[in-house]
Amino acid sequence: MNKIQAIRGMNDILPTETPVWQYLEATVQQLVQSYGYREIRFPVLEQTQLFKRSIGEVTDIVEKEMYSFDDRNGDNLSLRPEGTACCVRAADEHGLLYNQQQRLWYRGPMFRYERPQKGRYRQFHQIGIEAFGMAGPDIDVEIILLTARLWQALGLAPQVRLEINNIGTSADRKRYGDALIAFLRQHEEALDGDSRRRLDSNPLRILDSKVPTTQEILRDAPTLADYVSEETVAHFDAITGMLDAAGVAYEVNPRLVRGLDYYNNMVFEWITGSLGAQGTVCAGGRYDGLVEQLGGRSTPGVGCAMGVERLVLMLQEGGLVPGQSLQALDLFVAVGDGLMGQALVLAEQLRAQLPGLRVQCHCGGGKLSNQMKKAFNSGAPYALVLEADAAGVLAEVKLRQLGEEAGTEVLPLAELGARLQALFPNA
């Protein structure tokens, strides 16, 4: 029979890779909690209408990329393609938003039917940060500062740059869209196919086109900055002023519009040049109308999401994960004949005494020489060798250092715990 393999674009994350993911997730969790953000979790399946109403029916995500189906009750459901709409739905449904301030974060898989390539997959993972109930520019800046601090913590700051833009209100974008359509009609035949299709449905997405001929046409197009309201300009100027005061470098990109319809006012992207075509590693902005658009009461909101796979690639390729995070074990226990039961009991005693100690007992029998080969291959810095005396009793153990500076200590059982505590003070 043919082997069943993973679905294209939906990747297994193997034990050799998960330590990088764990390091990234732990770093993010510690950071967002230090800013007062609380974790929220929601289902991977939602009603399709949630995404049509939030992302926009004429976006690429809804038109071409969602995994949607009718369940046995005839309800049309979709695997979530992004997290903000889900977060809004969950928070509003459970009464967390009206007349309240909330700082929330989440993590998990998202799903889009795209052409798989480096840094872009059909199942991908995001970490999202959302804040509700605060209309001022200060919370916008806080989220940008949080992400900037994360790049510093991960060692990625030299590899990323910040782009921001003011996209105004929906009314501003409508007026600008009309002007953009009028301009592009004069060059319609020279536009690429996707841009011609978007001309009537979502003209602002043409600004994101990567086709050189279309970008050349856009050089002379009207700019969104000429159509945004004074109120959003004042909000945006306050943001840039606070970023300047905080020493965060940025570039105002007038063509940055984001691919989701719910954004207004400030949008931003953190971009890298180290991942080829997939340059955006974190993006977001303000979405003051989204809660009301999904049936809740008017509530300001702002947030962002970062691509975990892309950040993992950057950490791996840059060798930026601390060696201790990649180390799976602290202690490998090699067991002589007749001592398996005692070895398991001893390992349990050590785990109870040092809860953070990562201990693996050899199971399955075999010669001590073969067990020591496994010890060296395990990545543990130390091996504990258990051998019985002439009477078949375990009275002392050998603590062997693995690696280039190998050495062996013989310890009474009563002293083993204290010695390991000295070697692993954080265990």
SS3 110: strand
| Per-residue pLDDT at 346 exceeds 90 | yes
Q: How far apart are CA 177 and CA 228, in angstroms?
A: 12
Report residue 259's pLDDT band, with 50, 70 and 90 as the boundaries: low
CATH superfamily, domain at 328-423: Anticodon-binding domain (3.40.50.800)
Q: Tell me phi and psi for residue 285, to 5 degrees.
A: 160, -170
H-type alpha helices, 331-396: 340-353, 368-377
pLDDT confidence of residue 324 = 80
Neighbours of 89 (CB within 10 A): 21
| Per-residue pLDDT at 407 exceeds 90 | no
pLDDT confidence of residue 325 = 83
Residue in this structure with the two tokens 């939906």, named with its chain if needed: 10
- Region 144-165: mean pLDDT is 97
- In this structure, the dihedral spanned by the alpha carbons of residues 286, 291, 297 and 302, taken in order and rounded to 10 degrees, is -20
User: And the tokens for 313?
Assistant: 């690639």
DSSP state of 335: E
Q: Are 313 and 275 in contact (CB under 8 A)?
A: yes
Q: Which residues pair with 303 in a beta bridge?
A: 130, 285
Domain ranges of the chain: 18-169+228-318, 328-423
Q: What is the pTM of this model?
A: 0.89
β-pairing verdict for 407-412 and 359-361: unpaired
List the one residue out of 280, 264, 376, 272 whose CA is nearest residue 317: 272
Report residue 212's pLDDT band, with 50, 70 and 90 as the boundaries: confident
User: And the tokens for 130?
Assistant: 């959302």
Range name among 281-290, 353-362, 397-406 with the lowest pLDDT average: 397-406
Report residue 194's pLDDT band, with 50, 70 and 90 as the boundaries: confident
| Per-residue pLDDT at 420 exceeds 80 | yes
Helix, strand, coil in percent for the chain, rounding step 5: 40, 20, 35
Q: How far apart are CA 418 and CA 353, in angstroms?
A: 9
- Region 309-322: mean pLDDT is 95
pLDDT confidence of residue 124 = 96
Residues shown for the chain: 427
Neighbours of 422 (CB within 10 A): 8
The answer regarding whether domain 18-169+228-318 maps to CATH 3.30.930.10 reads: yes
| More confident of the two residues 282 and 222 | 282
Mean pLDDT for the chain overall: 92
Q: How far apart are CA 288 and CA 139, in angstroms?
A: 13
Helix (H) or strand (E) holding 422: helix 413-423
Q: Are 401 and 381 in contact (CB under 8 A)?
A: yes
List the one residue out of 61, 111, 48 whose CA is nearest residue 260: 61
Q: Are 321 and 29 in contact (CB under 8 A)?
A: no
Q: How far apart are CA 82 and CA 76, in angstroms?
A: 17
| Per-residue pLDDT at 204 exceeds 90 | no
List CB contacts of 273: < 8 A, sequence separation 6 or more. 159, 279
H-type alpha helices, 121-273: 137-154, 170-185, 193-201, 212-218, 230-246
User: And the tokens for 316?
Assistant: 């791996």
Report residue 236's pLDDT band, with 50, 70 and 90 as the boundaries: very high
User: How many degrees, rounded to 5, is the angle at CA 419 between CA 418 and CA 424?
Assistant: 95
Q: How far lies 85's CA from each of 70, 107, 172, 216, 303, in Å?
A: 20, 14, 23, 34, 11
β-pairing verdict for 160-166 and 123-132: unpaired
List the one residue out of 123, 128, 127 whose CA is nearest residue 13: 123
Q: Tell me phi and psi for residue 6, to 5 degrees.
A: -65, 150
